[in-house]
């Protein structure tokens, strides 16, 4: 399938899942949205589930790459986190239905789907790996400090997306940033970064 048609299929599948529950998902409707025929779909995928899982993997992989790429390599670690987080929040705000699919509609399908969501969070946690060294407290911090930080942010993002308020995420950057940084550098330094983020924003 050529990239443009693949992209159209991707968008159509995500929109259909955003609007319907999995049980009511209509592949025909999604293909109609994308301007594709069943034969073309079947040449690419053996089942709806294979397609949905592939699309979810693309969505999460793109989000992780987009956030990681935005960080840059030269700035101080908290600044890199801020820039990467900003990229993620802007993307979720710009694509609220994709955000709904990300945190609710897809994980709901079955445990194997939820596990993809958990893997996405682990992939984001890996982006924070430099924080331990930056903190100067490598051996003292919890073994799971990166996942603790991502989980903190996720709980705030989840509330907004699930409530249909993904558009608010960029303005919440300062407090979400605080929640990510605080287990690494403590509340005083995290508050400084929060204030800096508010000033930049």
Partner 1 sequence: MGVSGSTESIALPSDRSRLIEAMARSCAKRGYAETTIEDVVDDARLGRSDFDRHFASKEACAVEAVETILGKTMVVISAAYSADMSETESTLRGLRAILELFAARPALANLAMIHSRQMMPERGLAVYESGFAVLTAMLSRLRDNLGGEGEVPGVAARAAIGGAEAVVRRELLAGQARRLPQLLPDLVYSAAVALLGQDEAFALAQRARELQR
- Subset of residues 139 to 158 that bind partner 1, contact rule: CB under 8 A: 140-145, 147-156, 158
Angle at 69 between CA 157 and CA 192, to 5 degrees: 55
118 binds partner 1 (CB under 8 A): yes
> By rule CB under 8 A, what string of x and - marks binding of each residue 7-36 to partner 1?
--------------xxx-------------
CA angle, residues 52, 64, 129, in degrees to nearest 5: 135
Longest CA span, the chain? 59
Compute the least distance from the CB of residue 108 to partner 1, in Å. Answer: 5
* DSSP for 109-161, written as a single string: S-HHHHHHHHHHHHHHHHTTTHHHHHHT-TTTS-TTHHHHHHHHHHHHHHHHH
Interface with partner 1 includes 188 (CB under 8 A)?
Answer: yes
Report, in Å, the least distance between residue 190 CB and partner 1: 8
- CA–CA dist 130, 55 (Å, integer): 30
Query: Tokens representing 99?
Result: 């955000």
- Based on the shown chain and the rule CB under 8 A, indicate whether residue 108 belongs to the binding site for partner 1: yes
Q: How many residues bind partner 1 (CB under 8 A)?
A: 50
Contact residues toward partner 1 (CB under 8 A) are: 21-23, 103-104, 107-111, 113-115, 117-118, 121-122, 137, 140-145, 147-156, 158-159, 162, 174-176, 178-179, 182-183, 186-188, 190-191, 194
């Amino acid at each position: 399938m050529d990239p443009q048609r693949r992209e159209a299929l991707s968008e159509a599948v995500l929109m259909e899942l955003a609007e319907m529950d999995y049980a009511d998902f209509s592949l025909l409707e999604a293909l109609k949205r994308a301007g594709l025929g069943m034969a073309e779909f079947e040449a690419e995928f053996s089942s709806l589930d294979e397609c949905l899982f592939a699309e979810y993997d693309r969505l999460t992989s793109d989000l992780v790459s987009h956030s990681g790429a935005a960080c840059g390599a030269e700035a101080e670690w908290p600044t890199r986190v801020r820039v990467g987080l900003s990229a993620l929040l802007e993307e979720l705000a710009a694509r609220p239905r994709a955000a709904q699919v990300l945190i609710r509609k897809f994980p709901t399908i079955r445990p194997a789907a939820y596990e993809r969501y958990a893997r996405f969070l682990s992939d984001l946690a890996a982006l924070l790996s430099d924080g331990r060294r930056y903190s100067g407290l490598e051996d003292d911090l919890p073994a799971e400090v990166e996942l603790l930080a991502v989980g903190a942010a996720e709980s705030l993002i989840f509330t907004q997306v699930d409530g249909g308020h993904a558009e608010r995420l960029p303005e919440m950057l300062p407090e979400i940033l605080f929640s990510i940084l605080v287990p690494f550098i403590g509340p005083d330094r995290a508050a400084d970064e929060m204030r800096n983020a508010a000033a930049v924003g």
